[in-house]
Amino acid sequence: MASEVDVQGDTHDAIMGATYHALCKHGYAHLTMQDIADEFDKSRSLLHYHYDTKEELLLAFVDNIVGWIGDRLAESETEEPLERLEEFIDRFVIEPGEEDRETFALALLELRVQAVHNEEFREKLSVHYEKNVETVADIVADGIDEGVFREVDPEATGEAIYTALVGARMYQVTLGAEHASRRMRDQLAAFVVDDLITDGREPAAYARDDPEN
Amino acid sequence: MASEVDVQGDTHDAIMGATYHALCKHGYAHLTMQDIADEFDKSRSLLHYHYDTKEELLLAFVDNIVGWIGDRLAESETEEPLERLEEFIDRFVIEPGEEDRETFALALLELRVQAVHNEEFREKLSVHYEKNVETVADIVADGIDEGVFREVDPEATGEAIYTALVGARMYQVTLGAEHASRRMRDQLAAFVVDDLITDGREPAAYARDDPEN
C-alpha cells in the first residue's frame, strides 16, 4: 500500500491527471478504478501497484487538489487588488457547455458530503477550504493596505465571497439552475466589490459598518 | 404502491414527521426504513403499506418539505420588509449544539446531490429552490415598492441571498466550519441588507449600479 508521498514525480502526476479526467467524465458517485485506468496511459497494474482501492486513490487526489486548485485560484498576472478580486470571482463562473467543469464541481461537492463520514477527507478538504478563504482574504487585505478597499474584516469578507460562490455553483450543478454562478458573480460585483472600492466615494458612504454586526 | 397523494391526513403527517425525525437523527446516507419506523408511533406495517421503498418515501418527503420549509421561511408576524428580510436570513443560522438542524441540513444537501441522478428528486427540489428564492424576491420587491429598499432586481438579489446562505451552511455541516452560517448572516447584513436600505442615505451612495453588471 503506497501513500501519495511514495508515488514519485511523473507517475504521480499521471495518476492525478487520470483521476481528474475520470471525475470530469463520470462524476464521483459511480466512479470505478477502471474509469481511472481508462484515462491512464501507463499500465493498469501500475495504478493498482500504487493504490489498492478507489478510496485510497481519491484521498491522494483530494490531497493533491488542495495545492492544485488553491494555486490556480491564487495565481494572477497582476498585483492590483481589485483586478485580482475580480479574477478570483470570475474563476467560479461555469458557462453553459462547460460540462467537464460542471461534472468536476459536482464531484467536489460529493467529496464534501462524503467528508462528513470520513475524517481524512474532512481534514484535507478543510485545508482546501481554509486556503481558498485565505486567498480572497489576502487580496482584500492587500486592497485595504493600498487604500483601494475600505476597512473591512478581510477574513470574514473573504469567507463570505468564497462560500457564496460555492453555494450558487451548487445549485447550478445539482439542480441545473442555469447561469446561477454567473448571476452570483454579478451580484458580488454590485454588492461587495463595488462597496469595497474607496475611490470617488463620499465619506458618508463608508460609514455603513453597524457596530452590532 | 401508494403515492403521497393517496396517503390521507393524519397518517401522512405522522409518516412525514417520522421521516423528518429519522433524518435529523441518522442523516440521509445510511437511513433505513427501520429508522423511520422507529420514529413512527403507528405500526411498521402501516408504513410499508403506504411506501414500498425508502426511495418512494423520500420522494414523498421531498414533495412535502417543498411546502413545509417554504411556508416556514415565508411566514412572518410582521409586514415590514426590512424585518421580514432579517427574519428570513436569521432562519438559516445554525448555532453550535443544534445538532438536529445540522443533520437535517446535511440530509437536504445529500438529497440535492442525489437529485443529479434522479429526475423526480430534481424536479421537486427545483420547485423548493424557486419557491425559496421567490420568498426573498417578494420581500425585496415589497421593500422597493414601499420605498425602504433602493431599486434592485428583486429576483437576482433574492437568489444571491438564498444561495449564499446555503453555501455557508454547507461548509458548516460538511466540514464543521463552526459559525459559518452566522458569519454569512453578518456579512449579508453589512453588504446587502444595509446597502438596500434607503433611509438616511445620501443620494451619492445609491448611484452604485454599474451599468456593465
- The band of A162, judged by pLDDT with boundaries at 50, 70 and 90, is very high
pLDDT over 70 (residue A211): no
Asked if B160 has any chain A CB less than 8 Å from its own CB, the reply is: yes
* Residue ranges of B 87-126 with Cβ closer than 8 A to chain A: 106, 109-110, 112-113, 115-117, 122, 125-126
Q: B101 in a domain, yes or no? A: yes
Average pLDDT of the segment spanning B132-157: 96
State the CATH number of the domain containing residue B126.
1.10.357.10
Cβ atoms of A112 and B170 within 8 Å: the answer is yes
Residues B52 and B91 in one domain: no
**What is the CA angle B212-A138-A184, rounded to 5?**
35
pLDDT over 50 (residue B99): yes
Residue (of A139, A150, A143) closest to A201 by Cα position: A150
Q: A69 in a domain, yes or no? A: no
What cell numbers appear for A118 in the block?
Answer: 470520513
Average pLDDT, chain B: 86
Q: A161 in a domain, yes or no? A: yes
Cβ atoms of A62 and A125 within 8 Å: the answer is yes
Q: B67 in a domain, yes or no? A: no
Overall number of domains in chain A:
2
Residues B85 and B134 in one domain: yes
Residues B139 and B102 in one domain: yes
What cell numbers appear for B123 in the block?
Answer: 424536479
Test mutation, A92, A93, A113, chain B, max B CBs within 10 A:
A113
Residues A152 and A200 in one domain: yes
Residues B128 and B37 in one domain: no
Test mutation, A116, A140, A196, A206, chain B, max B CBs within 10 A:
A116
In chain B, which residues have their Cβ closer than 8 Å to the Cβ of A106? 113, 116
State the CATH number of the domain containing residue B34.
1.10.10.60
Q: B138 in a domain, yes or no? A: yes
In chain B, which residues have their Cβ closer than 8 Å to the Cβ of A159? 168, 180, 183-184, 187
CB within 8 Å of A75: residues ≥ 6 apart: none
Residue (of B90, B88, B85) closest to B73 by Cα position: B88
Backbone angles phi, psi at B141, to 5 degrees: -60, -40
Backbone angles phi, psi at A165, to 5 degrees: -65, -45
Alpha-helix residue ranges (DSSP H) falling in chain A: 9-26, 33-38, 44-50, 54-74, 81-90, 99-115, 119-145, 154-175, 180-188, 194-196, 203-206
Axis-axis angle for helices B99-115, B54-74 (nearest 10): 120
Average pLDDT, chain A: 86
Distance from CA of B20 to the nearest CA of A (A): 19
pLDDT over 70 (residue A113): yes
Q: B150 in a domain, yes or no? A: yes
**CA A28 → CA A7, A21, A44, A124, A162, distances in Å?**
23, 11, 20, 17, 23
Distance from CA of B46 to the nearest CA of A (A): 32
Distance from CA of A175 to the nearest CA of B (A): 6
Distance from CA of A124 to the nearest CA of B (A): 10
Q: What is the ipTM of this complex?
A: 0.84
Three-class secondary structure of residue B197 per DSSP:
strand
Residues B118 and B160 in one domain: yes
Three-class secondary structure of residue B200 per DSSP:
coil
Asked if B200 has any chain A CB less than 8 Å from its own CB, the reply is: no
Dist CA B91 CA B76 (whole Å): 11
Contact B116 A122 (CB under 8 A): no
Query: What pLDDT was estimated at residue A91?
Result: 94
Residues A53 and A82 in one domain: no
Asked if A171 has any chain B CB less than 8 Å from its own CB, the reply is: yes
Query: What pLDDT was estimated at residue A68?
Result: 78
* Facing B157 at nearest CB: one of A112, A175, A187: A187
DSSP state letter for B149? B
Dist CA B112 CA B99 (whole Å): 20
Q: How many other C-beta atoms can be found within 10 angstroms of the C-beta atom of residue A25?
A: 15
Query: What pLDDT was estimated at residue B6?
Result: 53
Asked if B197 has any chain A CB less than 8 Å from its own CB, the reply is: no
Residues A158 and A202 in one domain: yes
Q: How many other C-beta atoms can be found within 10 angstroms of the C-beta atom of residue A96?
A: 10
Q: B53 in a domain, yes or no? A: yes
Test mutation, B82, B153, B186, B187, chain A, max A CBs within 10 A:
B187
Query: What pLDDT was estimated at residue B65?
Result: 82
Cβ atoms of A3 and A51 within 8 Å: the answer is no
**Residue B39, domain extent:** 1-57
Query: What pLDDT was estimated at residue B187?
Result: 96
Residues B50 and B139 in one domain: no
* Facing B184 at nearest CB: one of A152, A160, A174: A160
Which residue would you say has higher pLDDT here, A33 or A205? A33
Which residue would you say has higher pLDDT here, B140 or A77? B140
Q: B213 in a domain, yes or no? A: no
Residue matched to cell numbers 474607496 = A198
Average pLDDT of the segment spanning B127-134: 93
